[in-house]
Amino acid sequence: MNQEPKDFIRQRIVRDIDEGVVTGGVVTRFPPEPNGYLHIGHAKSICLNFGVAEEFGGVTYLRFDDTNPLKENEEYTDAIARDVAWLGFSWDDRLTHASDYFEQLYQFAEELIAAGKAYVDSQSNEDIRATRGTLTEPGTESPYRNRSVDENLDLFRRMRAGEFADGEHVLRAKIDMASPNINLRDPVLYRIRHAHHFRTGDAWCIYPMYDYTHCICDALEGVTHSLCTLEFEDHRPLYDWVLDNINVNFHPPQIEFSRLGLEYTVMSKRLLNRLVVEGLVSGWDDPRMPTIAGLRRRGVTPGAIRDFCRRIGVTKQDNLVEMSLLEFCIRQDLEATAPRGMAVLDPLPVTITNYPGDGETLSAPWHPQRPELGERDMPFGPRLFIERDDFAEVPPRKYKRLTPDQPVRLRYAYIIEVEEVIKDDAGEVVELRCRYLPESKSGEDTSGIKTKGVVHWVDAAHAVAAPVRVYDRLFQVPQPGGDTLREDLNPDSLTELQGLVEPAIVASDQQRFQFERIGYFCKDAVDSGVFNRTVTLRDSYRPDGGAAGG
């Protein structure tokens, strides 16, 4: 690297390489528990782990931490692998599971027992919890703490053999019940769970705990930098204790960084799961969810997510990132890449009274600054739709669009002016009868008229009617809570409209578009024919979190 590395983790890695601590290449891992879908917080960890390995010519394991058979399943492992790949990262053949190491983990546990460093405790879970002590008071030693090695080995083997019921015994590390760090007060290493595991089936009825498993897996995989979030800082002494007390010849350093917190959403899998289970969203991939699957369905690209992760950086400071930063990254990315077309979401019929014939085909670029995206055909005819709020009978000051006295240009087409405003009995405008200026065709304009405004439109004979889901933030408060989850929801997070979309957009094999003057939209990957709003346009974004109008 010839560039000064920017965050403390990259600086540490450079130092470890310079000082010869790391000789065989950088090895990292991303260790999700397959008990839910990945969210944007995980993306931060993925970008960091895979990112540093890429930058330093190393490798990354995708390791499923599947130590709790009651909560984990294959739907989740598949979704996680798909999401990591979609974000643009590759683990090659380094896809592992904690369960791949169950036998080794068991052997290390016997080793700890043989060395007098672990014991079988026969207290109930409640008693174990009650005797752990508090931050200010030491814990109390278990009456079973001084069982002999032989008795411990015998009991532990019988635990494995299935002779006991759930909760009858646990294996605990024998460290220090008076340690100021509660994690070192004889933590549980194994518990009995007569449960079917989605990979190991019924081979095991004892399962290792996360803190015991994680460090050993890191060591076995030769992880040179075990990067995790700050809540594990207090667990680091246990991570080190386990590796110091078993016979393994590799000891990765655990390095902690702050979790990503994001405004107007929740990030804990428990709460995301509640949203799904309680039917408050349509699923893990609901476009309002902060999950990778939700963001993908919303129309967000992997590039936008990676850009976001790069901008937030990696520190040890806990922080809450503004949702508007994520929206900014999404917008930036789509602004440059998404083709542009026209759709009308609140249609007002326009009839061009002086238009001869049925129509013609105009042509327009897909992107004004990206000629390489090509052009599309655009049907134009005597019956059109414009957006209802692009006409005002009594215009407010500085109104630049169509009024009875003010012509407007139809984007990539002609100038029109109002001839007659047709209303229904209630006084509502139901149609505009207009004249067009044939000599004002875009690109060949000889009319000499310069309009104040340009509006979008679609041709009534060819526009495709499509449901348009206008998504907004899922929550109406910056920091929704578990206790107020339902009240904190934004009641207007989804508005479904019937839109009229330019036919070339529907026919195109592209997924994401800018609907000119409205926002960025994508074709829904699940419900065909539906468009999802990804994000508003910059100029219609209101920082108060309210829905932006068309």
**Residue 505 touches which member of ligand ATP, Mg ion, none, C-beta under 5-8 Å by kind:** none
Q: How far is the CB of 274 from ligand ATP (least distance, A)?
A: 12
Tokens standing for residue 61: 């394991």
Q: Angle CA(32)–CA(282)–CA(330) in degrees, nearest 5?
A: 65
**Which residue of the chain is nearest ligand ATP when measured via CB?**
41
| Strand, coil or helix: 494 | strand
- Kindly tell me which of 62 and 504 has the beta carbon lying closer to Mg ion: 62
Q: How far is the CB of 72 from ligand ATP (least distance, A)?
A: 10
Closest CA to 271 of 244, 291, 247, 298: 291
Binding site for ligand ATP (CB under 6 A): 31-33, 41-42, 44-45, 228-229, 259-260, 267-269
- Kindly tell me which of 33 and 445 has the beta carbon lying closer to Mg ion: 33
**Residue 113 touches which member of Mg ion, ligand ATP, none, C-beta under 5-8 Å by kind:** none
Q: How far is the CB of 98 from Mg ion (least distance, A)?
A: 12
Tokens standing for residue 533: 């709003």
Choosing from 12, 33, 168, 435, the catalytic residue is 33
**Residue 429 touches which member of Mg ion, ligand ATP, none, C-beta under 5-8 Å by kind:** none
Q: How far is the CB of 117 from ligand ATP (least distance, A)?
A: 26
- Kindly tell me which of 94 and 145 has the beta carbon lying closer to ligand ATP: 94
**Residue 299 touches which member of Mg ion, ligand ATP, none, C-beta under 5-8 Å by kind:** none
- Kindly tell me which of 228 and 300 has the beta carbon lying closer to ligand ATP: 228
- Kindly tell me which of 27 and 209 has the beta carbon lying closer to Mg ion: 209
Q: 79 and 293 in contact (C-beta within 8 Å)? A: yes
**CA–CA gap between residue 419 and residue 402 (Å, rounded):** 11
**Residue 45 touches which member of ligand ATP, Mg ion, none, C-beta under 5-8 Å by kind:** ligand ATP
- Kindly tell me which of 45 and 490 has the beta carbon lying closer to ligand ATP: 45
**CA–CA gap between residue 106 and residue 202 (Å, rounded):** 16
DSSP string, 97-131: EGGGGHHHHHHHHHHHHHTTSEEEE-S-HHHHHHT
Q: 98 and 216 in contact (C-beta within 8 Å)? A: no
- Kindly tell me which of 125 and 319 has the beta carbon lying closer to ligand ATP: 319
Q: How far is the CB of 24 from ligand ATP (least distance, A)?
A: 23
Residue 269 designated active-site = yes
- Kindly tell me which of 259 and 411 has the beta carbon lying closer to ligand ATP: 259
**Residue 42 touches which member of Mg ion, ligand ATP, none, C-beta under 5-8 Å by kind:** ligand ATP
C-alpha pair distances (Å), 85 with each of 38, 296, 302, 304 = 12, 12, 10, 15
Q: How far is the CB of 229 from Mg ion (least distance, A)?
A: 9
Q: How far is the CB of 32 from Mg ion (least distance, A)?
A: 8
Element (H, E) at 61: strand 59-64
**C-alpha R_g of the chain:** 31
Binding site for Mg ion (CB under 5 A): 33
**Which residue of the chain is nearest Mg ion when measured via CB?**
33
Q: How far is CA 60 from the centre of its chain?
A: 20
- Kindly tell me which of 225 and 235 has the beta carbon lying closer to Mg ion: 235
Choosing from 193, 259, 383, 435, the catalytic residue is 259
DSSP H helices in 166-254: 210-220, 236-245
| Helix/strand/coil (H/E/C) assignment for every residue in 142-187 | CCCCCCCHHHHHHHHHHHHHCCCCCCCCEEEECCCCCCCCHHHCCC
**Residue 32 touches which member of Mg ion, ligand ATP, none, C-beta under 5-8 Å by kind:** ligand ATP
Q: Angle CA(358)–CA(364)–CA(365) in degrees, nearest 5?
A: 160
Choosing from 29, 147, 269, 533, the catalytic residue is 269
Q: Which residue has the tokens 């990765």?
A: 252
- Kindly tell me which of 222 and 395 has the beta carbon lying closer to ligand ATP: 222
Q: 101 and 221 in contact (C-beta within 8 Å)? A: no
The amino acid sitting at 253 is: P
CA within 13 Å, CB half, 519: 27
Q: How far is the CB of 183 from ligand ATP (least distance, A)?
A: 16
- Produce one character per residue of 416-453: b if its CB has 16 or more CB atoms within 10 Å, e if not: bbbeeeeeeeeeeeeebebbbbeebbbeeeebeeebee
Cα Dmax for the chain:
101
The amino acid sitting at 104 is: Q
Closest CA to 461 of 346, 377, 358: 358
Q: 417 and 374 in contact (C-beta within 8 Å)? A: no
**Residue 225 touches which member of ligand ATP, Mg ion, none, C-beta under 5-8 Å by kind:** none
Q: How far is the CB of 209 from Mg ion (least distance, A)?
A: 12
**Residue 260 touches which member of Mg ion, ligand ATP, none, C-beta under 5-8 Å by kind:** ligand ATP
Q: What is the DSSP letter of 133?
A: -
DSSP string, 289-332: SSBHHHHHHHT--HHHHHHHHHHH---SS-EEE-HHHHHHHHHH
Q: How far is the CB of 315 from ligand ATP (least distance, A)?
A: 12
Q: Enumerate the active-site residues.
A: 33, 259, 269
